[in-house]
Chains A and B, each alone.
Chain A
Amino acid sequence: MSNVKDLLGLELEPYSMAVEKGKIKELAIAIGDDNPIYYSLEAAKEAGYDGIPVPLTFLQVIEYHGGYGFQEKMEVLKLNPVKILHGEQEYEYLGDIYAGDELHVTSKIIRADTKIGSSGGMDIVTEETRFTNQKGELVAIAKITIIHRH
């Protein structure tokens, strides 16, 4: 593998993806989250929302379905898929996201370094993804940290 440090600053191909209510419901069912705000517009409105809101981890649906799939992402980052672990994940919410919104997504690698520990070496790669809605408002920032064991 080439030097992981070369990934620092790499910008991935931007894309856009609609927030679909069917995908919100599908994710909530998969998690087993029965909060009615994710299933019904009436329930969401009753709870004070302008539309059906997204579960806190929904943006991963936008990322995998709208952007690179798992295997493709690993190829772009030149990481061996069987040697990677999901180390950390963060979502910061700056605005509301509802079913029907269109999100524009940009992302880049903000950390790429190697650590040598007692169990051998590992690369640590952090990707920051920014989500902007159809009104041009930055509504969320996601950070994923991947551990790649040597």
Chain B
Amino acid sequence: MYFEDLQVGDSFPVLKKDPITRVQLVRFAGATGDFNPLHTVEEVGEQAGTGIIAHGMLIMGMLSQGVTSWISRKNIKRIQVRFSKMTYPGESIEIIGRVIEKKADNLVVSELLAKNCEGDVKVSGIFEVKLQSRI
């Protein structure tokens, strides 16, 4: 993909993820080393008043999957997100992206959203890519 191929307002194809499972949270804890018990232990979730919630970084990982399915991994320069709502096992996340700015040096900035089926935004942010120019 070249710098000229993207225009402000362009949307990337939506990435629809399978529902998050408890086993996935255990697997993610092991893979990352993030053993905050809020993500795996029922009693801790009850104590916190939230129940078991997914790792925010799992949702950021899904956003990253979306980004690198749209644009080659080697072109990604920055990803920055804000976690706004908790995500629970059983929820299905959709990853949405749209170009918002084209800058000097062939940099393209896009907004990024992770939503559930009801449209609640769980995580939002931006990513920046550096592309080659045809010119």
Contacts and interface: CB of A to CB of B under 8 A. Distances in A.
A32 B82 contact: no
Contacts of B60: 57, 89
A55 B61 contact: yes
Given A30-B58, A49-B74, A90-B80, A35 B33 contact: no
B31 interface: yes
A147 B86 CA distance: 14
Contacts of A87: 82-83
Contacts of A96: 74
Given A27-B32, A70-B36, A35 B68 contact: yes
Interface stretch (B6-14, B22-30, B100-108): B22-30
B133 interface: no
Nearest to A91: B79
B31 A30 contact: yes
Nearest to A90: B80
Interface stretch (A5-13, A61-69, A106-114): A61-69
B32 A88 contact: no
Q: Determine chain A's interface SS by DSSP, over half rule.
A: mixed
Given A61-B33, A96-B74, A32 B80 contact: no
B4 interface: no
A93 B77 contact: yes
B34 interface: yes
Residue from B35, B38, B47, B74 whose CB has the most chain A CB atoms within 10 Å: B74
Nearest to A24: B31
A27 B61 contact: yes
A57 B57 contact: yes
Contacts of B47: 82
A63 to B, nearest CB: 8
Nearest to A31: B61
Contacts of B44: 82
A103 interface: no
Interface of A: 23, 26-27, 29-33, 35, 37, 47-49, 53, 55-57, 60-61, 63-65, 69-71, 81-82, 85-93, 96
Given A26-B31, A30-B32, 11 more contacts: A31-B58, A33-B62, A53-B73, A56-B64, A56-B73, A57-B64, A60-B33, A64-B32, A64-B34, A82-B47, A88-B83
4 closest Cβ pairs, A-B complex: A64-B33, A56-B64, A31-B61, A90-B80
